[in-house]
Amino acid sequence: MNDNAIPTVTLNNGVEIPQLGFGVFQVPDDETTAAVASALDAGYRSIDTAAIYGNETGVGRALADSALSRAHLFITTKVWNADQGYDSTLRAFDASLAKLGLDYVDLYLIHWPTPARDLYLDTWRALEHLTEQGRIRAAGVSNFQPAHLQRLLDSSGLVPAVNQIELHPALQQSELRAFHAEHGIATEAWSPLAKGGILTDSAITAIADRTGKSAAQVVLRWHLQLGNIVIPKSVTPSRIRDNLNVFDFQLTDEDMATIATLDQDLRTGPHPDTLN
C-alpha cells in the first residue's frame, strides 16, 4: 500500500472498483487527455466517461499514453439513450470500445432508464450478452429509480453491480441507498460535490475549518464513510490532487449527523422519471 492507495468496493460479482475515481462530464475531448493524464499521475485509477460526453477518444489517448498496465485501470462508460435497444446497444458498445482503444471495459452502464421509451429491459439483455462475452467486467445502470430496478430484477438473473445516481449532501437518496443495500447493488455518486454548489455551505465549511481540510475533501470524505463510490470531476490539477487526498482524516459521528441534516432533495440534474 502506498500513501495514495485508494480503497476498493467489491461488487456483487467479485470485481473490485476503486471507491474514488475521476469523472469527465463536460470536459471537451481535446482537454480530456490532459485532465485524465493529470488524474492518473495523481494516483486515480478509475475513470468515468460516457458516449454522450463526446470524450471517449480523449480518455483513450490518455490511457494509451500512460505507462500503467490495463489491469491496473478501471474504465467506465455508458450507453446513451438514443442507442437503447438490444442491437443498437451492441453497436454503441463497439463504437465506445473503438474510441477508448480498449478491448473491454470494466463497467458498462445504461445511462438513463428513459421510462417512456421503455427499452431498458432490451438494453439490459445486451449488457448480459456483453458480460457473457467477457467484454464488460461488470454491468450496471445509472439514474434508475427503485421501480426501474425492481423491474430489471424481476426480468433478469443478472443483478446490476452498480447504480450511478446523483448524490451529494443536498440530495442524499436514502430510499435508493436502502434499496441498493437490500439487493447488493453498489451506490455510485455522480455530481458528488453537487457540481461545486455544496462547497460554500456553512456547516461544511465549519467542518473544513476544524479539520484543516477543504470543503470538497469534507464532502468526499462524507461519501466514503457512507460507503459510496465517488467520481468527482475537475480540470484543475491542484483540485484533482486535493480530491484524492481524503484518506488521512475521519469525520466524527457528529460531523456525519450534521451533514445528514443538509438533505433538501435538491437535484442539479434531470429527474430520472421524466428524462426521456
- Cα→Cα distances 52→6, 24, 98, 107, 112, Å: 28, 11, 15, 16, 11
Give whichever of 154 and 185 is closer to ligand NDP, judged by the CB atom.
Answer: 185
Grid cell listed for 18? 476503486
* Nearest of 267, 225, 216 to residue 250 by alpha carbon: 225
β-sheet bridge partners, residue 110: 79, 141
Looking at residue 159, what DSSP letter applies? -
Nearer to ligand NDP, 25 or 104 (CB): 25
Query: Rule CB under 6 A: which residues touch ligand NDP?
Result: 23-25, 48, 111, 142-143, 164, 190-196, 199, 214, 216, 231-236, 239, 242-243, 269
Comparing CB distances to ligand NDP, the nearer of 48 and 201 is 48
In one-letter notation, the amino acid at residue 197 is G
Q: Which residue is nearest to ligand NDP (CB)?
A: 23
Q: How far is the CB of 220 from ligand NDP (least distance, A)?
A: 8
Residue with smaller CB distance to ligand NDP, 146 or 196: 196
Q: Cα angle at 218 between 215 and 221, to 5 degrees?
A: 150
Closest separation in Å from C-beta 257 to ligand NDP: 23
How many Cβ atoms sit within 10 Å of the Cβ of residue 249?
12
In angstroms, give the least distance from the CB of 127 to ligand NDP.
15
Q: Is 44 known to be catalytic?
A: no
Backbone angles phi, psi at 112, to 5 degrees: -145, 150
Kindly name the residue from 44, 53, 108, 120 that is annotated as catalytic: 53
Q: Taking the complex as a whole, how short is the minimal distance between the CB of residue 112 and ligand NDP, in angstroms? A: 6
Please identify every residue annotated as catalytic.
53
